Amino acid sequence: MNDTGEGATKGIAVLVPGGSGQLGRALAAEAARHADDVQLWAPSSAELDVTRPGAVVEALADLATGAREAGRAPVVLNAAAYTAVDAAEDDENRAFAVNADGPRVLAAVCSSRRVPLIHVSTDYVFSGDAGRPYEPDDPLGPRTAYGRTKAAGEDAVLGSGARAWIVRTAWLYSGGAGDFVGTMARLERERDTVSVVEDEVGSPTSADDLARALLDLAGPVA
């Protein structure tokens, strides 16, 4: 873990905005398995609205205080997002507030407090017509309202001056109600035949696997 110059820290203290979502829950579960190394706060979007600068300033102050008292290095891992892809087409202003304005506020406060920020984004920032796996440095070309708002969020984070990392993921699942894998499992139990669209291509990602990878990343960057 990080060495601050005052002795090695006792792991990391992580703030996870959007903590009640699928990824936030997976992060909390993974952190609980590594309690000696990871202390994690995962407020829901109702508890911490990332679009409100005052709330973010207060949350970062609490994170810094808690980390200092525990001898840990603070990190922010942003899992807050408006993820209703279809609904965003009719409510792009709200999607922009959460997916772009929220990360902008978080990044600005992280920059001022010199706290590293890991921001979770999406493959929707690309056009989807490359015909090959995308590379991190490929040009963005979102074709949906959701993708545009997430791309704007990436730009805000990278232009903030904060120590920041962007992690793009796709088709997150945990097998629970509402995600693709859970829905397919339920339909298989309920129906003799299951029909799904065949014009979408994606990379299903286990929320548990992503949570482990993000916490592994958070340690060295703290």
pLDDT tens figures, 142-160: 999 999 999 999 999 999 9
Task: Give yes or no for residue 162 having a pLDDT over 50.
Answer: yes
Answer yes or no: is 57 within a domain.
yes
Please report which confidence band the pLDDT of residue 45 belongs to, taking 50, 70 and 90 as the band edges.
very high
Residue 50 within any structural domain of the chain: yes
Q: Calculate mean pLDDT across residues 104-113.
A: 97
Task: Specify the number of domains making up the chain.
Answer: 1
Is the pLDDT score of 177 beyond 70? no
Q: Above 90 in pLDDT, residue 220? A: no
The mean pLDDT value of the chain amounts to 91
> Whole-angstrom Cα distance, residue 30 to residue 38?
9
Confidence (pLDDT) at 6: 45
Higher pLDDT, 3 or 23: 23
Above 50 in pLDDT, residue 39?
yes
Q: Give the model's pLDDT for residue 24.
A: 96
What's the CATH number where 155 sits?
3.40.50.720
State the pLDDT confidence band at 132, using cuts at 50, 70 and 90. confident
Q: Is residue 188 part of a domain?
A: no
Structural domain contains residue 38: yes
Q: Which residue has the higher pLDDT, 38 or 188?
A: 38
Which of the residues 82, 124, 134, 146 is marked catalytic?
146
Question: Tens of pLDDT along 78-94?
Answer: 999 999 999 999 999 99
pLDDT at 172 over 70: yes
Q: Is residue 182 a part of any domain in this protein? A: no
pTM above 0.85, yes or no: yes
Residue 190 lies in a domain: no
Give pLDDT tens digits for 50-87.
999 999 999 999 999 999 999 999 999 999 999 999 99
- Percent of the chain, pLDDT > 90? 77
Tell me, yes or no, if 146 is annotated catalytic.
yes
In a domain, 23, yes or no: yes
> Per the domain annotation, does 141 fall within a domain?
yes
37 pLDDT more than 50: yes
Tell me the residue range of the domain where 134 lies: 12-174+205-221
